[in-house]
A and B are shown apart, each in its own frame.
Chain A
Amino acid sequence: MRRHKLRSWKAAAVLTLAVAGVSVWAATSLAASGARPVRVAIMTDCKGAFAFGYEYDIGGAQGAFAQFAGGKTKSHAKPSAGMTGIRAGNTPVQIVGYGCGNDTVPLAVTETKRLMEKLNADVEIGPLSGDEAVFTANYAKAHPTKTFIIGTAGSQDPTMQIHPRNMFRYYGDGAQWNAGIGEIAYKKLGWRKAAIIMDDYSFGWTSAAGMIADFCAVGGDIVKRVFPPLNTTDYAPFVRQLPNPNQVDGYFSTVGGTGTSAMLKAFEQAYGKLDPKQWIGNLFFGFLGADKVVAPKLVGAYVGGFGNMPGVHTPAADAYRSFMSKLYPKLPNDDSFVYNYYVGAKALVIGLQKSKGAVGVKLQAALPRALKSPFQISNGGIVKLDSRRQAIQDQYQLQLVKNADGSVSPTVVAYIPNVDQSFGGLFTPSSPPPGRAQPPCKKLATPWQGKIQVVTDGKVTNQVIK
């Protein structure tokens, strides 16, 4: 009987502990939902191919909060240490959490729900990666009172096909970044037939879509498309699917993150030394450490843009660089992983000032449709949003050059003002989103065709690419 009682007590103790535990968790969650300042979450990646973006993205967003809303960083070396004292006008702003994705959808689901539902954020700045943004767009549609400002994800779908009313993007998508690079390949390198190797996910497809659309628009032909999955480590089977170097004039690449270097290495092993005149990459040829690993092998190669303008100096761009380099000296501030989060956060501060701290639909109405952006030259430096709240942004095409100190970096060689998302009507809300076979290769008239301006020594000239 004694033992019987002992067991009962044990069971009761376990039950009590369980109930107490649940109550504590619940109380914590409930406490988090009381009256409060505007709650902002920054969603980025800290795992996977783009893990390096974690500090860059947080630093970019917090840079704008520091510059325009009085935020005080806790660490100049590590942005994720946090920021306090942010006030947009009279409204206090609290950064409630940093999302840690890995560029895949399942973790984006968990992290977005954690930020928006557990931490009860009113606004999300992010995410970083293409598929994550596609999920977030669908999530945004289901949560109209929450506001989403895309971080640096470049997939087209969120603001073209899905375009929820509460989602904003203050920079170009991955296709916009590559506007003009196909024409450069056709005119400057004489390419007529090319192959493309693209990461098999939303951003890889969108980035490739810009290259394909631009190259085919002027009469080029894409003879082969190869799709390695994101996070591939052995690219040999994929580069073997590409035509031999003597069968095409060149190769476009939108393989990114940790894959760029591995893919090029596999190509070298299969076909020999890389010829810079036979390769055009997207932003992953020139940024995010690629300048040290990939670029030295490809000096002279053209590179698609990133919505930024390395080597070009304007008062606004230099002021941005100066401020950011003092705030976070270790961040690559010319890099759009930093810059895109910066412009998103800047827009949020302006929106909150206008809405007087109101969130939800009022904030969405107050968010600026025209934003003064450091890397914009046309319109007096103002980026405008289209009807789907997607930026119409200046684009700068790049080339890898050797500097006096022997380092290699991308520099701007061409300029196209006000590139919109449609590529002359090729991409529309009812067209299929970029994919393995989308867009098809066809000749068309893009708004910038024959008008791409040459940039020399950081100065935009009146000459056009011929």
Chain B
Amino acid sequence: MLHRESGVFKTSYAADMALYPLPIARWTVAAVLLIFVVVLPLSLQEYYLSVINLVLIAIVGALGLNILVGYTGQISVGHAAFMSVGAYTAANLAVHLHLPFWVTLPAGGLMAALIGAIVGIPSLRIKGLYLAIATLASQLIIEWVINHTPAISGGAQASIEVPRPTVFGVELKTQGELYFFLLAFAVAAVVATLNIVRSRIGRAFVAIRDQDIAAEIIGINIFRYKLLSFAISSFYAGVCGVLYTYYFGIANYEAFQIVVSIDYLAMIIIGGLGSVLGSILGAIFVTMLPIAIRIVVEAFGGYFWDTAALSAVAASMRLIIFGLLIIIFLVVEPEGLNRLWRNIRNYFRVWPFSY
């Protein structure tokens, strides 16, 4: 975070293990929260909130994938399928049993965790590219099952409309209301991840990532922790899928196809594998950059093209610039935006006396 850290002495283990070891870090977190809870919703137009809402949902999904890929080192290209598992579980519960979101949301997450743990079983025998193909298979199998099981998908259209979530009798439907709904879960996901990765479980994950045989020798139960990693990651994915479902008002598996899995992989690779801040930055980057590029092209493209031609140009330019920027960022810093941020921070940490 943004602070200097000289003159801080830790005198107990509890202080050493604190989530925010420095007092100023707590203040920074409080200030950031204040911005997100008060300043942004009051000052931004609904459109910008809708963009932030999409980012918030993506953050939850990216965090989950980062636990699996970044922290445990198990590659997965089936993340979107677990989202659809969560989405359909929640939608069926909400429509057929009329359950509120605070029941359907954890239920969707748990169901995704269960399926995720089953899908994770091959990871006990295979890794790397082989595991990628195994998870790719699970993505396709889950898609197929949803598409062909009316009991899950709710009919030929494979989409189930869900009612808007209600909190204390208030129906959340505007972008501003949904913003707080999504923000709460995004913050919860961030805090939970921060705590998971610095706990015994998180350290076991990192040990498995760095060298799984060594991890087994020092007594980490590989079977348990690999499956646990898949389950936790899928839980996040399931919750992310439920959030999508409530945000759009519909569960539709066509919104969770293989390209979405790839998008999430891109998020964590651009953001930085094995870091919480990296997941957040990656989600912001992948969701907002295309929009920002489009706005810039729209603002300045008028000098070069007429309106009708500009539409075609803007669409293509966006893809080209987006691809270029990803390459540039990864060439500048292969470990992602998180590392880039840390480099900048380390530079200013001792600035202007950098010697």
The reply to whether chain A is a binding partner of chain B is: no
Residues of chain B having any CB pair with chain A under 8 Å: none
Residues of chain A having any CB pair with chain B under 8 Å: none
